[in-house]
Chains A and B, each alone.
Chain A
Amino acid sequence: MVDENQHEALDENVVFHVHGVTRIYQMGEVQVHALRGVDLDLYKGELTVLLGASGSGKSTLLNILGGLDTPTDGHVMYGRSDLTRASESELTDYRRHHVGFVFQFYNLIPSLTARENIAVVTEIADRPMQPEQALKLVGLEDRMDHFPAQLSGGEQQRVAIARAIAKQPDVLLCDEPTGALDSKTGIIVLEALQRVNRELGTTTAVITHNAGIAQMANRVIHLADGRIDDMYINETCLPASELSW
């Protein structure tokens, strides 16, 4: 999936190079244009917030970056690899070794404890951290042997973050990580995200429809109707603890 001649002079700091990406879904007899030609670069160590209303295409973009979906047209380069040309098993490998996911509804394995939910990932990763260490990073070192059913929503989401970062991924993709939480809990979760980004230097993309979160980002990208209609750099990013919504 490496095609070195296609994009010459790749910036060493560019993690994702998105070029002309279009995604069309066939929903029954209707064609839905989720993305209509998106161009975007994401840089190493950066925390990016993708803002947009529902239906703006932000989730589609995140899924394509995460190797869960492929574009109808255009290219997505991850480093020197073209994700749009990757096979199903190459995408699985990509997700397995390079990407960490955090979802709105946590998606923990109910039959495994917090620690085991992380171990499930570290067992298959190349250079994982200890599950205990990951849980410590999100401040849950004393809840390690609890099952998901015994944890609050915020705690579950922090376990999900710990699970996503435990493999020490190159990128961390978060889809509405605070969407199911109240603002107080949401902030605790975002603090955990920010800490990981800062301490591990993991490239992080957070998508949300909550504009309040944008203030913690290095860069904010605004999507509407399948296109990027605004993009700016936050000169002074706030710590998550100072956010409010």
Chain B
Amino acid sequence: MQAFAIAMVIVSGVSIFIMSLSTTDSLYETRENYYRNYNFADVFASLKRAPLSLVRQIEAIPGVDRVDARVVAYVTIDVEGYSDPASAHMLSLPYDSPGVLNQLYLRSGRLFGTGQDNEVIVSEEFARAHGFKEGDKVTAIINGRRKSLVIVGFALSPEYIYQIAPGALFPDYARYSVMWMARKPLASAYNMEGAFNDVSMTLTRRANAEDVIERLDMLLKPYGGGGAYARKDQLSNRFLSEELKQQRTIATIFPVIFFSVAAFLLNVVISRIISLEREQIGTLKAFGYSNLDVGIHYIKLVLMIVMLGIIGGTIAGIWMGQGMSNLYKEFYSLPFMNYILKPSVIISAALISMLVAVMGTLYAVRRAAIESPALAMQPEPPAVYRATIVERLGLQRWFSQPTRMILRHIERQPVKSMLTTLGLSMACGVMMIGGFQEGAIDHMVDVQYGLSQREDISVNFTEPTSNRALYSLVSLKGVSHAEGYRRVPAELRYGHRSYRTGVEGIEENASLTHLLDTNLDEIDLPPHGVVLTDYLAELLHIKVGEMLEIEVLEGNRVTLQVPVVATAKQYLGVNAYMTRTALNRLLREGDAISGAHLVVDGDLQRDVYAELKEMPRIAGVVEQRSAIKAFYETMDETILFFTFITTLLGGSIAFGVVYNSMRVALSERNRELASLRVIGFKRGEVAYILLGELALLTVIALPVGLLIGQGLCAYLAFQFDSDLYRIPLILDSSVYAFAALVVIASALISGMMIWRNLGHLDMVAVLKTRE
């Protein structure tokens, strides 16, 4: 049973190690395969409009290998019988071809036949979400005109593995899709015949991406180029890379905890076995067995337990890894998932656990191995105790004898007591991680959509429009309030650091967009200067009061020097904000807005949405509420799986630690407990001495564990921070309560098992023999 409890902890460590690493490997390999076989580009750029003849010049840039010039449009989609807003990125595709670069993976159906201009290929997930079959129709509002399209195929693209709508954080397959149309009809709808507005390219092996991007930017500048970027900055790829990074963090942090706990448990148990077998060891050595022989005997025992753990852990790890990989396949838009378990992963899991276990045991074994046979054959001297510090402080008279026994036993083996407590604390901490993720995401959503972005619907226009457009929006039945915003892409620079994002101009006294400080109180936007997302200020190493250089990547591309007046707390994305009038002034334009946020009467939301879709100058409509709902649906399964695993793992540590320490304590104190039973102590009174110690250690472990959990979560949150999103360290009281409860429950279960063992105390046998 004890061996089993230790093996369980090793199983946990090995399984999570294998799960994380194999999942990481699988995701990585799958991604690489997909990128390679479907010609994922190395450099991307979008622009307003350039003639196809420019492609020659792009190809001539040193280092550029192949170039694919496309027409890409963000369109609104109308699905019959589905009232929520949906949108899509519509990519152009030549007839009878999956494209040159970023080729689509055709799951079923066919490519576009020549001359068939009303056909569309939709993403597999979108089709699945709506139950589309080949031959079904969707309506796309393309450049303000409704166009009915026949679905001829279902596909995926390496460019959209993480398929999210602009500004969203999580995929929402029913409401956002990537789609393909034949080039000719798409180009003619946007006056792009013989032209393109999106270009991607692969590079030759030795090419320097930075150089290519610089030259490309220069080349595209006259054509409204919005700034080229490399593969590492490509959105879908970045999300994937962040995910891989997180998995690697998990692959280090968890196994470290489990292996240290296992080492500690093995040390405790083997020490006990050795002290029980002291005399046999002496006898064996008296017969001529060497220290090495004796040592090897115990190492073998340990390795047997570890082997059990490795085998169990590998099986569990593969199962969990496959489960996790499948979740990834669902969560991401991947055409296939090659589950890869490298032998090296298993071997390193095995080696690490054996090494750690042997190290954990070595001390105890060494003591057995070097003891002289004559000494070893004598009984161990009686344990030396003394009154504890608490008692010496004068509190002694308040403690009953059994309570004194508990205190003195804990104090006699301070290191062991401390490690037991620490082990329990770790269990508690590990369990908080599962709950933390859920709570943190809730908080992010609350802050982002409850405090910061308060609109019901956002619309963005096809191009900057006069502020007067708001009147036509407010006049829609159901719209009670509209606020315009101006947004331009820009490169922000400070010193040698730069970052490409958007500058958003928001209304003074805006009621729908709030900037928040660290206490989540609203920041008043001053009439001059720029407010940066706190994370962006850190990225640029810029402080409030310093001058930020802003190069606008639109229109006549002005470069401005603007003081930073504040930083704002923001969990999603990074942005720069200023008042809209200030931005308009800096851009030397009139009262222009890029879009508007609307407050809509809940009952009329559908109608408003339907009307907005018909308005020609509206490029896209985003409805926050449906986005949040979709997000929770997506995350539920993943979070549940993760919480399940952390609970299982935390529980196994808690149980392993408690049961083993109690079992060892029972064995060590068998004699004194039996003596007490003989004297007339009831089973409950004797149990109090053992279980009271357990309870005391658990009580100490809980607050420590909650602190450790907080630390672990803070570490993870810190590790996961990126400009895409920051995970706030928000720990709901329920997270603490749950972790504490599982630890208490594990302690109770071990306590119950010890209680049963106490029933079998053999009073007669114990008293007849000398320890």
Determine the chain A residues whose CB is within 8 A of the CB of B381 once the complex forms: 149
Asked whether A149 lies within 8 Å of B680 as measured between CB atoms, the reply is no
With contacts A92-B677, A92-B680 taken as known, whether A105 is within 8 angstroms of B401 at the C-beta atoms is no
Stretch at the interface among B253-261, B302-310, B737-745, B763-771: B763-771
**A111 interface hit (Cβ, 8 Å):** yes
A123 adjacent to B385 (CB under 8 Å): no
Q: Is the CB of B382 within 8 A of A119?
A: no
Does chain A have a CB within 8 A of B409? yes
- Chain A residue nearest in CB terms to B408: A111
Contact A124 B672, CB 8 Å, known A107-B767, A110-B385, A111-B385: no
Evaluate contact between A63 and B685: CB separation under 8 angstroms.
Answer: no
A36 contacts chain B at the CB level, 8 A cutoff: no
B401–A119 touching, CB < 8 Å? yes
Report the separation of the CA atoms of residues A104 and B763 in the bound assembly, to the nearest whole angstrom.
14
A145 nearest in chain B by CB position = B387
Cβ of B386 and Cβ of A107 under 8 Å apart? no
Interface status of B404 (Cβ within 8 A of chain A)? yes
Q: Are A89 and B682 in contact (CB under 8 A)?
A: yes
Q: Which residue of A lies closest to B402 (CB)?
A: A120
| Assembled-state Cα–Cα distance A99/B677 (Å) | 12
Chain B 404-456 residues near chain A, CB threshold 8 A: 404-405, 408-409, 412
Q: Is B671 an interface residue (CB 8 A)?
A: yes
How many chain B residues touch A (CB < 8 A): the figure is: 35
**Within 8 Å of chain A (Cβ to Cβ): is B679?**
yes
Is there contact, CB below 8 Å, between B382 and A110?
Answer: yes
A123 and B401 contacting across the interface, CB-CB below 8 Å: yes
Residue of B nearest to A176 (CB): B768
- Near B by CB (< 8 A), chain A positions 165-222 give 175, 180
Q: A116 is contacted by which of B384, B404, B768, B771 (Cβ under 8 Å)? A: B404
Number of interface residues of A (CB under 8 A): 36
Instruction: Tell whether A111 pairs with B680 under 8 Å between CB atoms, given A120-B402, A123-B400.
Output: no
Q: How far is the CA of A33 from the CA of B677 in the complex (A)?
A: 26
Mark contacts of A77-106 with chain B using CB atoms, 8 A cut-off: 1 yes-contact digit, 0 otherwise: 000000000000100111111010101110
Is B764 within 8 A of A63, CB to CB?
Answer: yes
Residues of B within 8 A of A96 (CB): 679-682
CB-contacts of A38-61 with B (<8 A) = 59
Are A120 and B676 neighbours in the complex by a CB distance under 8 Å? yes
B679 adjacent to A59 (CB under 8 Å): no
A225 beta carbon closer than 8 Å to chain B: no
Contact of A101 among B404, B679, B770 (CB under 8 A): B679
Quote the shortest CB–CB distance from B444 to chain A (angstroms).
Answer: 52
Residue pair B405, A111 in contact (C-beta under 8 Å): yes
Establish whether residues B682 and A112, one from each chain, have CB atoms under 8 Å apart when the complex forms: no
The reply to whether A107 and B764 form a contact with Cβ atoms under 8 Å apart is: no
Q: What separation, in Å, do the CA atoms of A26 and B400 have in the docked complex?
A: 40
**B764 near A68 (CB under 8 angstroms)?**
yes
Query: What distance in Å separates the Cβ of B551 from its nearest Cβ neighbour in chain A?
Result: 75
Residue of A63, A99, A110, A121 ringed by the most chain B CB atoms within 10 A: A110
**How far, in angstroms, from A116 to B387 measured CA to CA in the complex?**
11
The answer for the CA separation of A93 and B400 in the assembled complex, in Å, is 20
**A10 beta carbon closer than 8 Å to chain B:** no
Q: Provide 29 A-B residue pairs closer than 8 Å at the C-beta atoms, listed in order of the A residue.
A: A68-B678, A68-B764, A89-B682, A92-B681, A93-B680, A94-B680, A97-B680, A99-B680, A103-B675, A104-B768, A105-B770, A105-B771, A107-B672, A107-B675, A107-B767, A109-B405, A111-B412, A111-B672, A116-B404, A120-B401, A120-B402, A120-B676, A120-B679, A124-B680, A124-B685, A149-B384, A149-B385, A163-B679, A180-B770
Question: Could you list which residues of chain B lie within 8 angstroms of chain A, going by C-beta atoms?
Answer: 381-387, 400-402, 404-405, 408-409, 412, 671-672, 674-683, 685, 763-764, 767-771
Interface residues of A (CB under 8 A from B): 59, 63, 66, 68-69, 89, 92-97, 99, 101, 103-105, 107-113, 116, 119-121, 123-124, 147-149, 163, 175, 180
If A63-B764, A97-B680 are given as contacts, then 14 extra A-B residue pairs at C-beta distance below 8 Å, sorted by A number, are A68-B764, A92-B677, A93-B680, A108-B675, A110-B672, A111-B385, A111-B405, A111-B412, A112-B404, A116-B401, A123-B401, A147-B386, A148-B382, A149-B383
